[in-house]
Structure formats: structure tokens, C-alpha cells
Structure 1
């Protein structure tokens, strides 16, 4: 039984945000650090992977849809990735990085004090790019949870970059938000589990991080990318409007500046 688990999701290759979270005392003291996917698709993919692999067995890795897409692109299994930065990020990865991504599971189950058996996944337990939101209908949650063992009472997911905690059919659902690409509010978002649930946001010097990433990354549009995502210029309303159609609700218009990707033309990795 683990006493404390830190959950980091959707780092998206943003090294300064990751470093800020890892420096948090509660993250340093956690029994495990669980990464719920989309670790690499961003401006500093190799630096992020090298930092995380250096932490050894404390890290529990889970693949996200963006990690899978980078690997498929490099292995010749897909010609393109809709998110513009993703093909560039894929080309930066070394063979050892690709081998690591190829070994990552889609989900992991761990016992956490106060929460019981916790299932960690990227999007939903059954699919790495399915969309569920804080206000998803209970019928939607019933469908998403179909096939789960009865002893799984808590589900932790990422993918939509917006933090929330809610009950759905007796199961606690937790989304820690995004470390590197937040929607709605700037900062590196994460969660601390055991015995309860705490949603956390770590502040860091955003302007210094934008400058550092711009200098460090060779992605052609890096200055614009860093300014947009580190300042969280996509609001939570923008994101919900964009992702809503994939949750089975109305058509909705897609905000042009959210990153393109596999979720109906808009990335919610």
C-alpha cells in the first residue's frame, strides 16, 4: 500500500515546468511519481525523458496518445501527426527513447492509502484518446467504465489538460491537469494522492521559461508556441467547447489556436 503518490500528466516536453514540479517537497517525498502520458510531444522531448529516466524506479510510466503517435511516426507506421510540433519532437528522440516509449503500458493499477485500488490511465481505461470531461453525463461515464473490475474505486486520467475531481457511479475520478500545456490557468498542474486527493498548481517564472525554451529548442515556431502554451492563452471555456463534440454533445466550433491533434482536429493529449 502506497502512502503518497504524485501524479504528473501531459508534460508535453516542457522541461522548466517539469523541473518546478519535481522540486516540490511533496513530490520529492512521494512513494511513487506516476506519469499519466503525453510526456514527450513538445519542445524539449529528449531533456524531459533523460531527466525522468534518471529518477529510476520511483517513476511509474504510462503511455499517452501523443507518445504513441511519436513512436508510430518514427517507426514508419504513420505518415503524419496533426499536432504541428509532434513530428519535429519525434525526430529528436534517440533509439533508447523510442525503446522506452514502446514498452510503456496503457494503464497501471496501484493500491493507495485512503483510495483503495487506483487505476491510472491517459484518457480513459479503455482508450488513450477518448474524451471525458468534468461535466460528462453519467451515461457517458457508465460506458467508459464498462469492463472495470469492481475493486477499482478510483480512476486517474489526463488527456484534456484541465484538473477536476468528481464522483461517477461511485467511483472517484481525478484529472490532475497538465504540467506543461495547461488550459484555463497558467502554472504546472499535478495531483497528490493519499489518503485524500489534492489538486496542486506549481508556479514558476513563466517569462524566464519562455526565454529558455526559445533558446534551447530548434522547433521553427518555438517562440510563438512557448508564449501561447506557457501563458495558458487557451481558456478552459475554449477547451471545453473544442472537446465537447468528442464527448457526445453538440457540434461546437473549434478554437483555432488549440493544438491540432487526434481529438477531432484538436489535441487533448
Structure 2
């Protein structure tokens, strides 16, 4: 026999850190994150300029952290292990090569989903994109039919679903379930700052301000990625607007009933592009 599952009072959710250590450090310094019972990472932790330092900063938090893999983490592992010859995100190969073998092994072992019981929210399922796929697109304005499709395999005991992937925060009710996207810590679309959320007993979307010019300068000084100056300026300053991101991702959520196509730019000379 097993005892009753722990009900957690406060859970901090950090998604899409994308290897940006200054943004992560700002969020980890938040009192509500320090005091949270659990810290859940909903994937895309490492694909960015400082993947190793980001992983080590999080591992220092010990068993409080619940790690989940995102599509970008999976791609880094596949690239390092020879399962793919390229990564759609231009910074991906750099990030993959910056990881140690032990860090790659750690990422490879991460689960895709997890569930916790959170006070006030019931049974909460955490995932990266959707519960069934680490790249599927769902947005705040996705059709009810799309939500029914992507949540079709979720058990009736799950009252809340927390996902990431699209780098834009939202909360919506669909088919009797609350769906939460905390936005992105390291690569926000729409407005600058490190976005995250606090669960229990309600759902509180948060944004942590930090010194972005200093962070850009730090990335330029500490990261050897050749295009780091433009990358840092673009993503830390949220130069991809929410309108642009929705226009890019919208066709991929099934609203036009055609397959996902290039959601990420492959040409680093085209300026800022959406990268999920």
C-alpha cells in the first residue's frame, strides 16, 4: 500500500529558460521561488548561450526541482549522440557542444510529463508543449476543437494542465480544465523580463524584472557563440512581439488544418525569429 500523495502548497513553474543564466538567477532570487515547496521546469532548459551553468545552478537546488524535457533539450541530446546532423535553432549546435557528457546523459533521462497535487488546483499535469507531444502548438486563442484533440489522452483526475513551448504567458479554461502557460524565463515574446508562474492555491503569472543591458553585456563577455550580440539583444529585449509570434505559430495549431511548417528560422541572417 502507498500513502496519500503529497499536496503541495506552493509550486513555482519555470519554463523555456533557454540557457540564459542572468534571467534564471533573477527568478531564483525571488522570495516566492525560494520559499516554494517545489520548482517545476517545463522544458527547453538548455538550448541557449549558457546551457551548462544554467543546469548546474538548477541542480544546486537539489530534490526541490522537478525536471522535464522540452523539444529543444531533446534535440541537443540527439545532436550530441549522432541521431541528427543539425538543429533548426541556429544556437542549438553551439549549446549541444557546450554540454559535458554527464550533462547530456542527465538531459536524456528527463521525463516528458509529470503530475503533482497542488493546493487549490487539484491534480496538475506538467508538460512542455502538450501532454502528448513536445512540439505541438496550442495558443491562448486555439479553437476548442484543438484543445479537445491535444487533451484527449489526459485522465479525468487532472484538473489543471501546465505547458510552455510558445514563450507567451496565458491562463484559459477549456473543457473543464484550467490550462496555464507561464511564458519564458529566458526568451520572452511580447515584453521583456523573466516570466514564470506560482501555483497554489490559485494561479499567479509573474514577471521578474532584471538589468537587461547588463545581462546582454554579460552574455557577450561569457558566451563564445559567434552571433551572441544579436541573439542577446533580440531575445532578452523581447524584440519578437506577441503579435509576430502568434502570426508565426498560429498556422501550427491546426486552425488552418495543415501540418506544422517552419516554426523556427534556419537562417541566422534574417534577424529575430520565433524559436520554440
Task: Give CA-to-partner distance per residue, 1:60-97, whole Å, 9 cap, x none.
Answer: 00000000000000000001001000011000000110
Tell me whether 1:179 sits opposite 2:185 in the alignment: yes
Separation in 2 of the partners of 1:126 and 1:64?
Answer: 12
Q: How does 1:24-35 map to 2 (within 5 A)?
A: 24-35=30-41
Change (3 A) 1:260 1:196: farther
CA contact (8 A) 2:245 2:274 kept: no
Q: How does 1:34-113 map to 2 (within 5 A)?
A: 34-113=40-119
TM-score, normalization: structure 2?
A: 0.92
Match of 2:162 in 1: 156
Change (3 A) 1:259 1:42: farther
Change (3 A) 1:145 1:8: same
Aligned-partner SS, 1:207: helix
Q: Pick from 191, 200, 203: which aligns with 2:206?
A: 200
TM-score, normalization: structure 1?
A: 0.94
Q: Pick from 124, 132, 139: which aligns with 1:133?
A: 139
Aligned-partner SS, 1:185: coil
> Would you say how many aligned residue pairs link Structure 1 and Structure 2?
262
CA contact (8 A) 2:263 2:275 kept: no
Listed as ranges, the gaps of 5+ residues in structure 2 are 1-6, 268-272
Instruction: State the 1:99 CA deviation.
Output: 1.1
Separation in 2 of the partners of 1:259 and 1:22?
Answer: 30
Match of 2:149 in 1: 143
Separation in 2 of the partners of 1:62 and 1:267?
Answer: 22
Separation in 2 of the partners of 1:257 and 1:116?
Answer: 33
Instruction: State the 1:267 CA deviation.
Output: 5.1
Task: Give CA-to-partner distance per residue, 1:127-158, whole Å, 9 cap, x none.
Answer: 00000000000000000011111000100000
Runs of 4+ in 1 over 6 A off after TM superposition: none
CA contact (8 A) 1:12 1:181 kept: yes
Change (3 A) 1:103 1:257: closer
Aligned-partner SS, 1:249: coil
Separation in 1 of the partners of 2:17 and 2:111?
Answer: 17
Separation in 1 of the partners of 2:153 and 2:53?
Answer: 37
